[in-house]
Amino acid sequence: MRYGHFDDKNKEYVIERVDLPTSWTNYLGVEDMAAVVNHTAGGYTFYKSPEYHRISRFHANSVPMDRPGFYIYFRDNETKDYWSASWQPVGKDLDKAKYTTRHGLSYTVYECEYNGISSSQKLFIPRGENVLLWDVKVKNTGDRPRALSVFSYLEFSFHHVMIDNINFQMSLYCAGGSYKDGIIEEDLYYEQDGYQYFTANFEPDGFDCVRDKFLGTYNTETNPQAVINGICSGSEEKGMNHCGSLLKKITLAPGEETRLIYMLGEGRRSEGARVRAKYSDPAAVDAAYADMAAYWKDKCDKLIIDTPNAGMNSLINTWTLYQSEINVMFSRFASFIEVGGRVGLGYRDTAQDSMTIPHSNPAKCKERIEQLLKGLTTSGYGLHLFQPEWFEEDKGDAPFDSPTVVPKADKSVIHGLSDACSDDALWLVTSIVNYIKETGEFDFADKQLTYADTFVNGQDFKESVYDHMKRILDFSAEQVGESGICKGLRADWNDCLNLGGGESAMVSFLHYWALENFVSLAERLGRTEDAAKYRAIADKVKKVCNDKLWDKEWFIRGITKSGRKIGTHEDEEGKVHLESNSWAILSGAADTEHGNKALEAIDRYLYTPYGLLLNQPAYTKPDPEIGFVTRVYPGLKENAAVFSHPNPWAQAAACVLGRGDIAMKFYNALCPYYQNDMIEIRESEPYSYCQFIAGRDHSAYGRARHPFMTGSGGWSYYTATAYILGIRPDFDTLVVDPCIPADWKEFKAVRVWRGTVYNITVKNPDGVMKGVKRITADGNDVERIPAYPRGTSHDITVYMGN
């Protein structure tokens, strides 16, 4: 069953049936102010941090689903009938009201046709301003004049997520809402500068600042008392819960349309007045929207693909890039699942995300990489979850002592080895190498940066990016267990595999991969001594991996502290694992024979039509030596679900072995685009990868959960483009080395690399899956594709064959 379609031309997903089985979300804002919204205008907005500076409230994990939000109500003053611009919160009968939601890149539009009135409400946050615009158009499509009252509604929050949810004897009396000169101002009194405003491009005919006055004590957003009565009560109060509601009465002649523009912003009433003057001009709203469209067009234009796979085209050209960008922006801290109680940067997640899109967002990827390097300890492990602000030079703006201010770092934030994850910082090595390959910024390796521990100790100690990388690699070389394989520590990539002093196969493979990438950088920089030293370590790691981790037909997952191997043919549960087998191949550590067998095991044991399971069979008996994974319900999350994030690793692994057929089979299985017509099973949005899909062992087999905030976004983008299509920059050349199904005859791509446009055509006359026999650039045969001068454009043809 389908609920909507991909509109590739407009880069929108159009939801035609809004009574979805679960919330389908979108992200607004690309700078300091941001919002997460769903298909019925539910959601929340925040300034910089959803934990410390939440502007509007959200009732997480509640009923009704996903409220409140950014609501517009229409009331017919003749009949007293009322409805909302988005289907919820009023929830009109869908046989009588036609609702459509369009999620686009950093905007969402809610359309409604009801009883002779058509309306649209577009939400977006312009660049350069901290304001959420609600651009509302209302048209009388009937043949008689209509008198309507239009009400807006949002619920303010007490900023800090915890304060917003506890100790109400205090928090209820710390904020005030007032109205003056057409502008509602929300004042968080315990903050030095805790103001927001809500205003519009008209002189209101009424207002409410107090939530319970607008809603009525026993009513909800579905049936606000003010809307029923057709009049706001003009409520204001220092204390209690606040809302922003402005009333406008309009009359529309047949065919007449009007445009109401609402502004919910950060700052005082005076700031509201400035922004009101600016966006009361509809041309300014249109210009801001056009600017946002240009912002995304520029990103999407960095790589446009045209392949025989429609789902891949649609996702890579728009949605997976978008998801990857959102992950670099938000790490994992804002969604309807991550509701702001856990913010900051997750070390491993951010490290991986920033590897995936340096071509479309080099500045943000670099910023993230530097923040992570500053969150590295001199011991070489990263702080698992941290606030980047902790390690920034003090700008001297001594904060007012408010509970909503991000606390400063002290020594207690530097967790010890017992809380370190074995994989966290290893990811960063390749992210840095890839950043340099993308941008050609070789001197980035020499940039001097602090470390987390010496910084909080007040030591003036900096080292180069390159030296940070060496510490990361040295840490993993030192932290090995009995067999010489990297220790599992608190966890490796799998948060629920807690091997402690036991050993993680996956991390040793990852270590090998990071070493190989580092060696390539050292060689390119002419640092031959380092290249030789780390090459020797890499060789040793590779040998130990092959000596200790092979088990008849696949690679094991690890070894417990007591020496028990996990993931062997003798195991009844957790016999085959996706992570270690994928990384054995992807890292290049496995030889071809073992690699092919491991890939076969993945295909045989872990493949489902919804993607690859993380392990099989599921664990059913708690086993503290293996970890928390054995206490997760079978078929959910890390215990034998289709955990999306490692899926692209296996796709890339198939490419390393030249198996374009298998890579594409795995890609298509996970690809949400191909689940658009089975939403009764998938439930979640088909334009976003979800964290996991319930596995075979669970009653909800096939049901996807937790959209957007997952490493599968970035990794799917990276694998599809760099491994399957094989388009990836090296230090001095652009590599095009695809691994595709043999029946693909041709594909095209336009790739912008270092300011130069490469119009790439790949031809596959012999029907191979891998191998390049000839390359031409502007009609001439070339060995490699060079970095041409910036601003130029070149036609590249790649002929596959043996």
Which chain residues interact with ligand GLC by CB under 6 A? 332, 346, 348-349, 493-496, 638, 691, 710
Please list, in sequence order, all residues whose beta carbon lies within 8 angstroms of the beta carbon of residue 382, skipping any fewer than 6 positions away: 347, 348, 351, 372, 375, 376, 420, 421, 424, 425, 428
Nearest CB to ligand GLC, comparing residues 349 and 685:
349
DSSP codes of every residue in 314-328:
HIIIIIHHHHHHHHH
Nearest CB to ligand GLC, comparing residues 495 and 600:
495
Segment holding 272, helix H or strand E: helix 269-279
Site of tokens 């392949």: 307
| Least Cβ distance, residue 711 to ligand GLC (angstroms) | 6
Burial zone of 533 (CB within 10 Å; 0-12 exposed, 13-18 middle, 19+ buried): middle
Nearest CB to ligand GLC, comparing residues 427 and 788:
427
Nearest CB to ligand GLC, comparing residues 299 and 645:
645
Rounded Cα distance between 761 and 746, Å, is 7
Cis peptide before 68 (omega within 30 of 0): yes
CB 709 within 8 A of CB 337: yes
User: How many Cα atoms are found within 13 Å in the side-chain-facing hemisphere of 247?
Assistant: 22
| Least Cβ distance, residue 423 to ligand GLC (angstroms) | 8
Nearest CB to ligand GLC, comparing residues 187 and 638:
638
Instruction: Report angle CA 639, 641, 642 to the nearest 5 degrees.
Output: 140
Cis peptide before 624 (omega within 30 of 0): no
Nearest CB to ligand GLC, comparing residues 578 and 762:
578
Could you tell me the CA-to-CA distances from 529 to 428, 436, 526, 603 in Å, in that order?
22, 21, 9, 41
| Least Cβ distance, residue 500 to ligand GLC (angstroms) | 16
Instruction: Report angle CA 319, 324, 329 to the nearest 5 degrees.
Output: 125
Do β-strands 793-800 and 756-763 pair in parallel, antiparallel, or remain unpaired?
parallel
Nearest CB to ligand GLC, comparing residues 231 and 496:
496
Nearest CB to ligand GLC, comparing residues 204 and 375:
375
Nearest CB to ligand GLC, comparing residues 51 and 638:
638
Please list, in sequence order, all residues whose beta carbon lies within 8 angstroms of the beta carbon of residue 570, skipping any fewer than 6 positions away: none
Q: Is the dihedral of CA 646, 301, 761, 516 positive or negative?
A: negative
Nearest CB to ligand GLC, comparing residues 340 and 346:
346
Burial zone of 412 (CB within 10 Å; 0-12 exposed, 13-18 middle, 19+ buried): exposed
| Least Cβ distance, residue 578 to ligand GLC (angstroms) | 11
Query: Nearest CA to 567 among 593, 588, 582, 549?
Result: 549
| Least Cβ distance, residue 638 to ligand GLC (angstroms) | 5
| Least Cβ distance, residue 693 to ligand GLC (angstroms) | 13
SS3 415: coil
- The number of residues making up the chain comes to 802
| Least Cβ distance, residue 494 to ligand GLC (angstroms) | 5
Site of tokens 């809380």: 419
Angle between helices 347-356 and 711-718 (to 10 degrees): 30
CB 611 within 8 A of CB 669: yes
Query: Nearest CA to 142 among 254, 284, 290, 261?
Result: 254
Query: Nearest CA to 371 among 479, 465, 273?
Result: 465
Rounded Cα distance between 54 and 116, Å, is 38
Tell me which residues are annotated as active site: 495
Rounded Cα distance between 163 and 124, Å, is 27
| Least Cβ distance, residue 155 to ligand GLC (angstroms) | 29
| Least Cβ distance, residue 234 to ligand GLC (angstroms) | 47
Question: CA 127 from chain center: how many Å?
Answer: 19
| Least Cβ distance, residue 349 to ligand GLC (angstroms) | 5
Residue 645: CB atoms within 10 Å? 23
DSSP conformation class of 489: E
| Least Cβ distance, residue 359 to ligand GLC (angstroms) | 24
| Least Cβ distance, residue 492 to ligand GLC (angstroms) | 8
SS3 389: helix
Nearest CB to ligand GLC, comparing residues 39 and 348:
348
Please list, in sequence order, all residues whose beta carbon lies within 8 angstroms of the beta carbon of residue 748, skipping any fewer than 6 positions away: 305, 306, 307, 759, 760, 761, 762
Encoding tokens for residue 726? 């094989």
Residue least distant from ligand GLC (Cβ) = 495
CB 378 within 8 A of CB 389: no
Alpha helix stretches (DSSP H) within 552-591: 578-586
State the virtual CA torsion across 83, 85, 91, 92 in degrees, nearest 10.
50
CB 640 within 8 A of CB 619: yes
| Least Cβ distance, residue 582 to ligand GLC (angstroms) | 14
Nearest CB to ligand GLC, comparing residues 332 and 770:
332
Nearest CB to ligand GLC, comparing residues 67 and 348:
348
